[in-house]
Structure 1
Amino acid sequence: MRDRRIPARTRIQGGTEERLEARDGGDVGPGGPGEQIGDGLPVDSGAEGGLTQAQPPFVHHEFKISGDALDGCGGDVVDGGLGPGFRIAGQIARRPLARQTSDHVVALLRVDVAADPWSGQLTSTFTFAMTLGEDVSRQIVTYRPRTSASVWARVGPQVRAVVAASRPASADEARQSIHALARLATWADASGIPPRPDLWLRTETIDAFVLAGCTGRSPKSVLTYRSLLRRLRDALVWVQRGEAPAVRMSAPVVRDAPYEAAELAELRRWATHSAGRRRLDALALLALGAGCGLAPGEIASARGTDFRVTGAGAVVFDPPDQGRLLVCRASWERQLAELVDRAGHLPLFRPGRKVAASRNLISNWCARSRPDARLPRLSARRLRATWIVDLLTDRIDHAVIAEAAGMASPAALAAYHRFVPELGRRQALALLRGPRR
C-alpha cells in the first residue's frame, strides 16, 4: 500500500501551513462504515509553510495501546518503516464563543510507531491535519496589530500559528483570538519573555498579563482577554506542565444606563425627521429596542413575519422558534406596525444587507448615523435598558418582565433596580393599602 505522509500541520490557505499540536485524541472519532480518506483532506505536499512552525508534538512513552482504542477504527494500516502506522478520519468538536453554536471540524489523525534500534524503545508520533475555511484563514493571515513592525516580526508568525492551530470556528472568533494573543505576545516581548507559545500559554503568564498588561482597560474587557487566552490554552495544551493554579478573578456586573425620557424623545424626533433608508432603520432600532426590549442580536434578526398585529392594534412579537410573551409598548406600536407591514419577510433593520447578521451590524450603523452633537449616541443596549427600567417603574411583576426579556430568571433584573426611581409616599401608601374587595 502506498504511504501518503500526513504533516503535523493545519493548512490555512495559499499553500501556507501551520504546525498543530495534538490533543489527547479522545474526541477524534472513526469514520463511518466504508468511509475512505478523501483527497480533500490535507496531505504532505512537501512545501514549506510561510509561517514559523511550532515544535512537532512527539509523545514519548512505553508503547501500550488497549484493544478498545483502535478496534473498528476503519483507518488504513500502512507500513511505517520501523513500526506499524494507521490513520483515522473523523471530526473534532469545537467549543464556540458565547452565543454561538458548537460545530465540528473534519480532521485526519495519523499515528506512527518507530522502534529505537539500540534500546528497543518505541516512540508514538501523533499527527493531526485540519483545514480552516477561507474567511478564517484570511482573518489570521492578514491581521496586523498596532505595534512596531520589528516587534510583530518577532512574535507575529508564532501568534498566527497558535491561532490557526486552535481551529477557530468563525472569522469573528479568529479575529478576537488573534487580537488577544497579539496583545499578550507584545507585552511578553516587552517583559523579556521569549517568543514561545509554550511560555505564552502558561496560566501564570496569562494571569500576569491580564493583571499587569491590561491597565486602563475595564474589568469586563480584562476578563474577556483572559477568557480568550484560556480558550487558546485549552485547545492546545494537553499535557501536565506543573503550572500554578489560575488566579480567581471576577468583575462587577455593570448594566448600560437607560436613556432619560427627554433624551429618548429627542432621538425619536431626530429619527422621524431623517431621510430615506436611515429614517426607517432609525425608527426600527428605536421601536425594537425601546418599544420591545429586544437584545442587539434579536434586533438584527427580527423580520416582519416575526410580528402580528391584533385587532386592537397591539403588536405581538411571535417568532416561530420562541414561546415567550412579548408585546410592544403602546407608545411605539403604531410606528412598529407600519414597519412590520413594509418589511414583510425581510428584516426590519437594514433589510438590504448582504449577510444575515454580523457581530457589529448595529454598532457600525450607529457610528455612521450619529445624531447631532447635542444628542446622545444611539445604543441598542441602552434602548433595551430603557424598556426594562420603564417596566420596573410601572411595578409590573418581575417574572413577567424577565420572561418578556428572554431572561432565565427574574434575578437578572437586579442590576437594573438602581435606575428605578423611588416611589413617592402617596404612591407607596396606595400600593400598600390595595383596592377595596
Structure 2
Amino acid sequence: MVDRIATYQPADNTGWTEQTADFVRDLVTTTRPSSARDAHRLAAITAAFVIWGEQQDVPLVAEQLITPERLEEYLASGDRAQWVHGTQIGVRWALRRVGIANTRRAPWRSRTITPGSKTVSFPYTPDEIRLYQDAAAKQRTPARSRYMQAALAFHHGAGLHAIELVHLRGRDIETRHGRYVVHLTSVHTATSHSPSRTTIVHESYNPIVERLLRDAGDGILAHASATPTAASFTSIRKWLVYNDALPELSPRRLRATWLRDALSAPVPVRTVLDAAGLMSIDFAAVGASLIDDDPQGHLTVLASHRAAPRPGARPGNTTTGVP
C-alpha cells in the first residue's frame, strides 16, 4: 500500500508537478487508507482536487486548501471528467476523510459515513473496462472466470441488473442476425422490479457469450449451480483478482456504463429506456460522461427532426428496436 501511494500519478499529468505529487502523497498517507485499492482511489480524487486548488491560486497548505468551503466550491465547479472513481457523494466522502485527517482548524464534522453501494453508480472508464476484461480471462479458478466474463457480457454488454444475471439461462438467449438477443421474463425481473423486456448484447462480447452458451447449455450462464443465489455471486466477487488501481467490480456500475454508452448511441432515448427496463433516467451519474462525437452534425439533426409514430405503434409499446 505504501508503494501504491509513493508511485501514484494521474493518467493526465497536466498540473502534476513534483511539489504537487509530494503534497498529495503526504495527504493520502496521513489519511491511512485501508487497502491498496482505497489508497489509489483516495490519491486519484485528492490529486484532481489539489490540481484544481492550484488553478484557483490556493497555496499547497492543507489548512487553507482542504476546507468544507473549498470542497463545496469544487463540487459545484470542478471538472466532473476527473471523478472517475465515484459520484459526487463518493468524492465528498473521500475528501472529507482527507480533510479530517490533515487539518485541525477546518470545521469538519468528526465523523464521515461511507457511501453505500447504491450511491456508487458512476460509469467506469473505457480503460477500466478493458482491464476488467483482461482480468476476467486470467482468474485463478474457472468459476471466477466464468462469473466475471458473464458479468461483463450481460451487465456491461446488455444492461442487466445484478439479480437478473442470477437467473439467466442459455434458453433465454436467442441468436439473431449474428447477434445475441436476451429475453428477460418475470423469472428474471421479479426481484429487480423491472418490466419483462428484450435487450441485445454488444457485439464485442459475442465470443464470450458463445463460450458461455457452449459450456452452460440450458443451465445458468454465470454459475455451475442450477440454483445459484445473489449471495453466491456476491461471494465470488469478493475473490476476484485484478489490478489494485481498479475500483471494485460492481454490477450496478457496469450497468451504468452500458447506460452511458447506449445513451451516446444514435438511437431514440425510448429504445434505451425500453432495453434498460426504465421509465425515466437519473442523469446525475451518467450525464457528465455522455459522449457526442459529432455535436454540430447532431445539432443539424435537431433542427430538422420531427418524431412521428411508426405504423402500427401503440402507446406503451415496450419493443426495443432489436433487429
Q: With structure 1 as the length reference, what TM-score do the two structures score?
A: 0.38
* SS of equivalent residue, structure 1 residue 294: coil
Inter-CA distance 424–316: structure 2 relative to 1 (3 Å threshold): closer
Cα-to-partner distance string for 1:24-82 (whole Å, 9 max, x where unaligned): xxxxxxxxxxxxxxxxxxxxxxxxxxxxxxxxxxxxxxxxxxxxxxxxxxxxxxxxxxx
Cα-to-partner distance string for 1:81-104 (whole Å, 9 max, x where unaligned): xxxxxxxxxxxxxxxxxxxxxxxx
Matched with 1:367 is: 238
Q: Say whether residues 1:344 and 2:217 are aligned partners.
A: yes
Q: CA deviation at 1:361?
A: 3.1
* Alpha-carbon distance between aligned partners in 2 of 1:215 and 1:381, rounded to the nearest angstrom: 27
Q: Counterpart of 1:281 in structure 2: which amino acid? A: Y
* Alpha-carbon distance between aligned partners in 1 of 2:298 and 2:113, rounded to the nearest angstrom: 42
Larger radius of gyration: 1
Matched with 1:299 is: 165
* SS of equivalent residue, structure 1 residue 264: helix
- Structure 1 contact 295–381 (Cα < 8 Å) conserved: yes
Cα-to-partner distance string for 1:269-320 (whole Å, 9 max, x where unaligned): 121233533222221111011111111100112111111112x221111145
5+ long unaligned stretches in structure 1: 1-213, 222-252
5+ long unaligned stretches in structure 2: 1-109, 187-194, 306-323
Provide the aligned C-alpha RMSD in A. Answer: 2.9
The structure richer in strand per residue is: 1
* Alpha-carbon distance between aligned partners in 2 of 1:263 and 1:428, rounded to the nearest angstrom: 28
Inter-CA distance 430–332: structure 2 relative to 1 (3 Å threshold): farther
Matched with 1:104 is: none
Matched with 2:40 is: none
* Alpha-carbon distance between aligned partners in 2 of 1:258 and 1:399, rounded to the nearest angstrom: 20
Matched with 1:331 is: 204
Q: Choose which of 344, 356, 361 in structure 1 pairs with 2:228.
A: 356
Alignment of 1:33-432 (within 5 A): 216-217=112-113, 254=119, 256-274=121-139, 276-310=142-176, 312-321=177-186, 323-352=196-225, 355-358=227-230, 360-407=231-278, 409-412=279-282, 415-421=285-291, 425-432=295-302
* SS of equivalent residue, structure 2 residue 255: helix
Q: CA deviation at 1:330?
A: 1.4
Q: Counterpart of 1:297 in structure 2: which amino acid? A: I
* Alpha-carbon distance between aligned partners in 1 of 2:239 and 2:270, rounded to the nearest angstrom: 37
* Alpha-carbon distance between aligned partners in 2 of 1:430 and 1:335, rounded to the nearest angstrom: 39
Cα-to-partner distance string for 1:328-347 (whole Å, 9 max, x where unaligned): 11111232132123212221
Cα-to-partner distance string for 1:160-217 (whole Å, 9 max, x where unaligned): xxxxxxxxxxxxxxxxxxxxxxxxxxxxxxxxxxxxxxxxxxxxxxxxxxxxxx9533
- Structure 2 contact 144–236 (Cα < 8 Å) conserved: no
Q: Counterpart of 1:280 in structure 2: which amino acid? A: R
* SS of equivalent residue, structure 1 residue 309: strand
State percent identity of aligned pairs: 24
* Alpha-carbon distance between aligned partners in 1 of 2:254 and 2:298, rounded to the nearest angstrom: 28
* SS of equivalent residue, structure 2 residue 198: coil
